[in-house]
Amino acid sequence: MKDYQTLQSLLQIKAPWSLIDFRFDPGRARCDAWITLEQPRGWFGFTKTKQFPTLTWRHVNIGEWRLYVHVMAPEGTNLTKQPWAGEVGQPFSRLLEKQIGDMLNYVHSPEKIGNLLGLETIDLTHAYSNGRLIAPKPIATYTKASTATDTNASSDQKDLPPPGDPIWLKIINETHPIQIKAIGLQLFLFNIRMQYKSTDNQELHSRYASECQNFFKRNQRQLAFELGQIAARK
């Protein structure tokens, strides 16, 4: 009972929510916790149990233990104020998203953040590309002349090179080096370059190139600086 109370306090779980189970896996330094709404009691004090859909998020670490929260609640339940919950379809809880966002202000290497917190790079990429992580604002050190150049480059990049253009594969295999400011692009390229290096399959290489083009297309406004370099060296 004491362990339940301690973990419930660490997770900031408050009524009507309740911690109903948890498991520690010392071999993987992992803890799983199950949270659900408190169930009304029926006759003779027995609890009425109901089966609800389960949503899982990676939460902030407990020391060196990686914590996963499994939330069981009816569909449509409002979880927006719960720090241990996240958005549906996202990998991280709100509190972990805040922790990562704070770290991005000081640690500009996604790989280092992933290593420090024990996070999968693919989850970091997913969260950032969906707007869940806020990258730090760049320090304004450019002159008015260079700012105007960047603006013009941005306006000229409305039409991207098509998915089959060799430039995308060159970016992935690093034969077309570009300076990258956007944290989201750093995360994406780190992940896809690891996949590229793990296979010699040309069909997969073509798919990675297409995914790269699609990432630039989806985030064109945020990647104006990087797109300007592609246009200049293509």
Domain boundaries, the chain: 2-129, 144-233
- The mean pLDDT of the chain is 79
**Gap between the Cα atoms of 128 and 124, Å rounded:** 6
Average pLDDT over residues 180-203: 81
Q: For the chain, first and last CA: distance in Å?
A: 64
More confident residue, 189 or 44: 189
Residue with more model confidence, 169 or 184 = 169
CA angle 225, 102, 134 (to 5 degrees): 40
Output the CA–CA distances (angstroms, integers) from residue 93 to 51, 86, 88, in the order listed. Answer: 22, 4, 10
Determine the pLDDT at residue 191. Answer: 74
For the beta sheet containing 30-37, the strands, ordered from the edge strand earlier in sequence to the opposite edge, are: 17-25, 30-37, 65-72, 54-62
* Secondary structure (3-state) at 142: coil
Q: pLDDT of 21-78, one tens digit each?
A: 999 999 999 999 999 987 655 544 445 556 788 999 999 998 788 999 999 988 889 9
Of 50, 46, 47, 69, the closest CA to residue 58 belongs to 69
- Strand pairing report for 54-62 and 65-72: antiparallel
CA distance 126 to 119: 12
CA distance 84 to 69: 7
Q: What's the pTM value of the predicted model, to 2 decimals?
A: 0.59
What SS3 class is residue 29? coil
- pLDDT tens digits for 197-226? 888 889 889 988 998 998 898 888 888 888
